[in-house]
Amino acid sequence: MPAAPVRLGGGKLAVLASRVGADEKRLFDALDRRGVPFDHVDTRRQWFPAGPHDLPWTLALNREIGQFRAAYGARCLTAAGVDVVNSAEATEVCGDKWRTTQALEVAKVPTPRTALGLTPQAALDALDSIGYPALIKPLVGSWGRLVVQLTDRACAEGVLEYLAALPGPQSHLGYVQELIDKPERDIRVIVVGGEVLGAVYRTAESLRTNVALGGQTLPCEVTPDITKPALDAAAAVGAGIAGVDLIEDRDGRLLVLEVNHRVEFSGFQSALADRVDVADRIVDHLLERARR
């Protein structure tokens, strides 16, 4: 028998998303199972008027894949009085690697040594200070895309020359970071509502261990060494739902790389199938938010 419909204050839940992927399907199924009425708000057709207006939603789960659409969508919903998870501010901070690094530094969360060059030439100077090998990453990006290892100064000069030739002023900012001599894996932790749901190793023989690039997920035991930086990182960026990426350095110290505000959890879910249901826990968090 289906569960009785759950009331969310005066309005409904909106799930903001364009294409519905495997994770959104899981979320929709979990909402249906729990009897939570929701609208899939397709960002490809959604627009907002400026000025006061009413919307039929009290709460929104932001699963929009495009960073700018996600951030502006969250801002528009918030302005109309909708409680958005994650918040617009968290979405903006997580979506920008430099703002994330700054938030982690302020909260004293261990993270690799990082610098931002305001021009490609300045990034080269910053790299002289960081040392080689190093990495360059796009300010806005995911799935490991355009994360490039810089083995030495000659390599960096070449990559930065390409950077300078890219269109778009944002591409000319150089987010550069020390390369951590990590084992052939990183650690992905999912945090929901201030709780760690679990952790997986993502293993790959190459530099980038992203699942999108073929990284394999394996269960990872959650120890206090993992819990603390993961919870601190999620709190530092203000994310109620967070996918925290960590790497281990040579001494086994854990460093936070980034916090994903729209966490993809298919790999995580299959590695921890018998331990946690991520979609269900996200629904719990939404219901908890609705009760506030």
Ligand X SMILES: Nc1ncnc2c1ncn2[C@@H]1O[C@H](COP(=O)(O)OP(=O)(O)O)[C@@H](O)[C@H]1O
Dihedral pair phi/psi, residue 111, rounded to 5°: -150, 155
In sequence order, the β-bridge partners of residue 241 are: 192
Q: How many residues touch ligand X (CB under 6 A)?
A: 22
Which DSSP state fits 7?
Answer: P
Shortest distance (Å) from residue 115 CB to ligand X:
12
Question: 143: which 2 tokens?
Answer: 């799935």
Shortest distance (Å) from residue 117 CB to Mg ion:
21
Ranges assigned E (strand) in 30-113: 38-42, 57-62, 83-85
Burial of 131 (0-12, 13-18, 19+ CB in 10 A): exposed
User: Is there a contact between 257 and 186 (Cβ–Cβ < 8 Å)?
Assistant: yes
Shortest distance (Å) from residue 95 CB to ligand X:
10
Q: Is 142 in the site for ligand X (CB under 6 A)?
A: yes
Q: Which helix (H) or strand (E) holds 68?
A: helix 67-79
Shortest distance (Å) from residue 149 CB to ligand X:
8
**Residues in contact with 209: Cβ distance below 8 Å, sequence separation at least 6, in sequence order:** 144, 184, 185, 186, 202, 203, 215
Residue nearest to Mg ion (CB): 245
Question: Taking CB under 6 A as the rule, which mask of x and - marks residues 257-276 in contact with ligand X?
Answer: xx------------------
HSE at residue 218, side-chain half, CA atoms within 13 A, is 10
- Measured from the CB atom, the residue of 48 and 98 that comes closer to ligand X is 98
What are the residues binding Mg ion (CB under 5 A)? 245
Q: Is 112 in the site for ligand X (CB under 6 A)?
A: yes
Helices (H) and strands (E) in the chain, counts: 9, 13
CA distance 240 to 224: 20
Question: Taking CB under 6 A as the rule, which mask of x and - marks residues 167-206 in contact with ligand X?
Answer: ----------x-xx-x---x--------------------
CA distance 97 to 160: 18
Find the binder of ligand X among 87, 209, 217, 269 (CB under 6 A).
209
Q: Is 147 in the site for ligand X (CB under 6 A)?
A: yes
- Measured from the CB atom, the residue of 120 and 243 that comes closer to ligand X is 243
- Residue 266 Cα distances to 5, 21, 24, 123, angstroms: 27, 10, 10, 36
Shortest distance (Å) from residue 69 CB to ligand X:
17
The item of ligand X, Mg ion, none sharing an interface with residue 62, based on CB under 5 to 8 Å by kind, is none
Shortest distance (Å) from residue 206 CB to ligand X:
9
The item of Mg ion, ligand X, none sharing an interface with residue 180, based on CB under 5 to 8 Å by kind, is ligand X
Question: Taking CB under 6 A as the rule, which mask of x and - marks residues 219-258 in contact with ligand X?
Answer: --------------------------x-x---------xx
CA distance 204 to 266: 17
Which residues lie near ligand X (CB under 6 A)?
Answer: 112, 135, 137, 141-145, 147, 177, 179-180, 182, 186, 207-210, 245, 247, 257-258
